[in-house]
Structure 1
Amino acid sequence: MADAAPRLQGLFAQLLGVPLPVRIRAWDGSQAGPPGAPTLVVRNRRALRRLLWKPGELGLARAWVAGDLDIDGDLYTTLDLLAGHIWERGEDARTLAQALRDPEVRAAVRGLVKLAGPPLLPPAPPREETRSPRRHLHTKRSDRRAISHHYDVGNDFYEIVLGPSMVYSCAYWPGPDSTLEQAQHDKLELVCRKLGLCPGQRLLDVGCGWGSMAIHAAREHGVSVVGVTLSQEQAAYARKRVADEGLTDKVEIRVQDYRDVRDGPYDAISSIGMAEHVGAERYLDYAGDLHGLLKPGGRLLNHQIARRPQRDETAYSVDAFIDSYVFPDGELQPVGATVAMLERAGFEVRDVESIREHYALTLRQWVARLEADWKRAVQLTSPGRARVWRLYMAASALAFERNRIGVNQVLAVRTPESGVSGMPLRARTWN
């Protein structure tokens, strides 16, 4: 008898203490759950073995990336319904040990073991999972490896997701009906105006990506730009764009760690979506390095994703899916911690702007672009890699919309001893 789905519904309800808010369709064709709800497709018993060996988010992520789990219905709705059971439940060893003291939970685990069937061995992780252990080293070598894992996926793949602007950070939307290209142009222009760029100045673009900020600043504001990235693929792409724009006399793209930049001082520094890779233990050094590269009166625009602070910061743990499949060794900090570190390094923080809702709009556009060209995206990378990106971007969009994470532009100045910052009395003229 085909009964896997109703059995799974019952077992998950035992484990979670509440009924699962989605339908289940199991490998034997059976279905169960709320009528009309999105459907979680459990394609095989291996999905259960992944969950049993890695309970929580990482087990679910492995099953999703491998294709053992799928969703039939709207992805955002399904993730929203499951959010409380994935992101908001503890899954560390202490919490699991406490849960297993409950006879109902132990009985549910035994039921899943029986339903999973032999061989009850841990399935190998999908090949898209990074194998390096997490140690928060953030050495130049480990950072280079982490950046390569994320960015050296293939420029053609990123063209599908990002569109012609090739900007991989939060856009700045005039309105929800604007185009992605217009919103990304407006973000680059906003950064340039906050930095007060003028012809003849020198700009350092840290984590320059595919060169969009460097090209915009040189073309529209007449500055000379040095862009640094750790990705060979990004650098090659950016250099070609610079040449095509006729800006080789204005823009230099280097494969270089920001810690190795020695040709300051610069009039301004932009760091857009790069500081998430720095690491909490290295952040003060990062801020100090950038401070030292600026001339007195020079400005830094630090555009960075932030997490919400925890009541007990010692209990904070990284997102297992993001760490294993998307941003190895990436770390998010509360915006207050970022501001404090910049000030400790000697900066005067002059403006902090939250643009959280803008990132949700940006991510939904990226997901739509990926889904619209899905077959080609799979051909350019792998089915698992494309699934990683679809899940990561859709879940991130919901995280921004629900205020689980935010994104901020922090404008800071290396104010000279005279106290003359060079900032206008009414600073927000850029808006």
Structure 2
Amino acid sequence: MSAARDLLTAFEEFLRVPLPVHVRCWDGSEAGPSDSEVRVEFRNRRALRHVLWAPNELGLTRAYVSGDLVIDGDLYAVLALPDLVDALGTRTLSNTSPGELARLARKFAALGIIGPPPRPPSVEIPRRRGALHSKRRDAQAVSHHYDVGNDFYRLFLGPSMVYSCGYWSRPDTGTAGLQDAQHDKLDLVCRKLGLEPGMRLLDVGCGWGSMALHAAQHYGVDVLGVTLSAEQRDFARARIAEAGMSDRIEIRLQDYRDIDENPFDAISSIGMSEHVGAARLPEYARHLHELLVPGGRLLNHAIASVVYRPEPRSRPSTFSRSRPATFIDRYVFPDGEILPLSRTLDAFERAGLEVRDSEALREHYALTLRAWVANLHEGWDDAVALVGAERARTWLLYLSASALGFEEPGRLTIHQVLAVRPTSGGASGMPRTRHEWLSDR
């Protein structure tokens, strides 16, 4: 008996697709093409029980994150198998015939893997309590993702500590160009907002303070940054103090809905509105409108789902919200919602904001994610020491899958939307051409 051969045959029968994968099992047996760049090892029978009880992306995630399933080689190659990922998105026990189930049960029983569902990895998010996108639940969701250690984030983000899509306007790509790409992204946002000395900027979801520092140091503005992550707040305050900018920048642990200030000249929201949710998006747009002076600009930088479906559509979105219990929701961004660009534009316009520009940066995010993955690989031992093997594997899987998600059209994209609150006379205060408001000062 070869556990690897029987296992590969059973999975191909269940998923109804050929699997060009080399498999190694706990008994030392191997099966599949020996020259395959996709090589996986089932270290124990528990790895198969994870998949058996959740025969989709969640089951494979549990097996991989727990360490029971090992991917030997290129993780990108595994995630890029179109037939496998499509099948995982559509095949369930409920749409398998009784005859198929009986045959599969006999095969799995022969492998000795029939048993109760294994305990999920410790980093899997349990069922949440409270109303979706309530202030308390949002704070818990943000804390889960961001309060895992600033040193861990620095490993793959690099010294910029910017956790959003870079702007790759220079020849260097990969890790060598990451710092410049993040600098250029922050500068692009500042130029689109038309920042000038003496203005007040609100940075919603300020992260580790990078945008606030860039705007204050290079454009002479005063900044209020808000975040729901205590670790981000503490880190941002420390680096701002070290830069001697505490008199120009204030960082608060505060929900954007609780900001009640005199209006700001400009607002930046970079990688934050994904946490807002579809039901709260109109409220988000109205509140930011209220926080802007007439003529003030808002820059919303956010991931968007893609509505159109170019052919061939080979893989479902890594950030899919169409199925319950996805990897992203259970492990990475609890309660996160990736919405079509049209939903954001509609909410802004209904709130009274005039949308002036939208720039797609899909390829830029793919380059950024590839650089983060390379950094994580390089600092792997340190990452495991800082956050544990399960969380490190979670982030490696998340960043790698996301890179592929942005590389292929029709899955994910990202837009910088520039909007303005018109004056009482209807004037936007915007220059007539893009060249005027994007040219170097």
TM-score category, normalised to shorter length: over 0.9
2:418 aligned residue (406, 411, 416): 411
The AA in structure 2 aligned to 1:306 is: A
Shift of the 273–116 alpha-carbon distance from structure 1 to 2, 3 Å rule, reads farther
The one-letter code of the counterpart of 2:108 is L
Q: Distance in 1 between matches of 2:416 and 2:432?
A: 19
Is 2:194 the partner of 1:207?
Answer: no
**1:269-418 alignment, distance < 5 Å:** 269-309=267-307, 316-317=322-323, 320-403=326-409, 404-418=411-425
Work out the CA distance in 1 between the residues paired with 2:428 and 2:105: 62
Q: Is residue 115 from structure 1 mapped to residue 122 from structure 2 by the alignment?
A: no
Provide Cα deviations, 1:73-120, integer angstroms capped at 9, x if missing partner.
Answer: 111112102x4423565448xx6422x1263455234423442435x0
Once the two structures are TM-superposed, the CA of residue 331 in structure 1 deviates from its matched residue by 0.6
Going from structure 1 to structure 2, the CA distance change for 1:134 and 1:343 (only over 3 Å counts) comes to farther
Structure 1, 33-42 or 354-363: larger mean CA deviation: 33-42
2:20 aligned residue: 21
2:192 is aligned to: 194
Pair 266,201 (structure 1): closer, same or farther in 2 beyond 3 Å: same
> Match for residue 62 of structure 2?
62
Partners of 2:401 and 2:164 lie apart in 1 by 16
Q: Distance in 2 between matches of 1:301 and 1:134?
A: 32
Describe the shift of the 1:177–1:122 C-alpha distance in structure 2 as closer, same or farther (beyond 3 A).
Answer: same
CA displacement at 1:136 relative to structure 2: 6.4
C-alpha displacement of 1:134: 7.5
Cα offset for 1:428?
4.4
Distance 1:137 1:91 in 2: 27
1:136–1:279 contact (8 Å) kept in structure 2: no
Q: Equivalent of 1:157, from 152, 159, 176? A: 152
Q: Matches of 1:423 and 1:318 in 2, distance apart?
A: 43
Aligned residue runs from structure 1 range 86-105, under 5 A: 86=85, 89-91=88-90, 96-98=93-95, 100-101=96-97, 103-104=99-100
Distance in 2 between the 1:67 and 1:347 partners?
49
- Say yes or no: does 1:44 pair with 2:44: yes
The code of the aligned residue for 2:214 comes to H
Conserved? CA contact 1:49–1:116, under 8 Å? no
Contact (CA 8 Å) 1:134, 1:329: kept in 2 or not? Answer: no
**Cα distance in structure 2, aligned partners of 1:360 and 1:241:** 28
Question: Does 2:241 correspond to 1:246?
Answer: no
Counterpart contact for 1:57–1:87, Cα < 8 Å: no
For the residue of structure 2 that corresponds to 1:29, the secondary structure is coil
Q: Answer yes or no: is the 8 Å Cα contact 1:299–1:413 preserved in 2.
A: yes
Give the aligned residue type for 1:44.
N
SS at match of 1:279: coil
User: TM-score w.r.t. structure 1 length?
Assistant: 0.94
Give the TM-score normalised by structure 2: 0.92
Give the structure 2 partner of residue 423 of structure 1. 430
Whole-Å separation in 1 of the counterparts to 2:355 and 2:93: 42
By how many angstroms is 1:135 displaced?
7.3
Instruction: Structure 2 unaligned segments of length 5 or more: list them.
Output: 310-319
Q: Deviation digits for residues 376-428 of structure 1, max 9, x if unmatched?
A: 11111110000000000000000000121111100011112312101111024
Residues 108/88 of structure 1: CA separation in 2 closer, same or farther (3 Å cut): closer
Q: Secondary structure at the match of 1:423?
A: coil
Aligned-partner SS, 1:281 = coil
The share of aligned pairs that are identical, in percent, is 57
The alpha-carbon deviation at position 7 of structure 1 amounts to 0.7
Unaligned runs of 5+ in 1: none
**Does the 8 A contact of 2:22 with 2:40 survive in 1?**
yes
Are the aligned partners of 1:66 and 1:126 in contact in 2 as well (CA < 8 Å)?
yes
Q: What SS does the aligned partner of 1:249 have?
A: coil
Equivalent residue for 1:127? 122
State the Cα deviation string for residues 37-76 of structure 1 (Å, max 9, x = none).
1201111110111111112011111111100111111111
One-letter code aligned to 1:19? P
For 2:106 and 2:274, the matched residues in 1 are separated by 40
Structure 2 CA distance for aligned equivalents of residues 341 and 59 of structure 1: 36
The separation in 2 between residues aligned to 1:345 and 1:225, in whole angstroms, is 24
- Asked if the contact 1:55/1:91 (under 8 Å) is kept, the reply is no
- CA pair 242-75 structure 1, distance change in 2 beyond 3 A: same
Residue matched to 1:32: 31
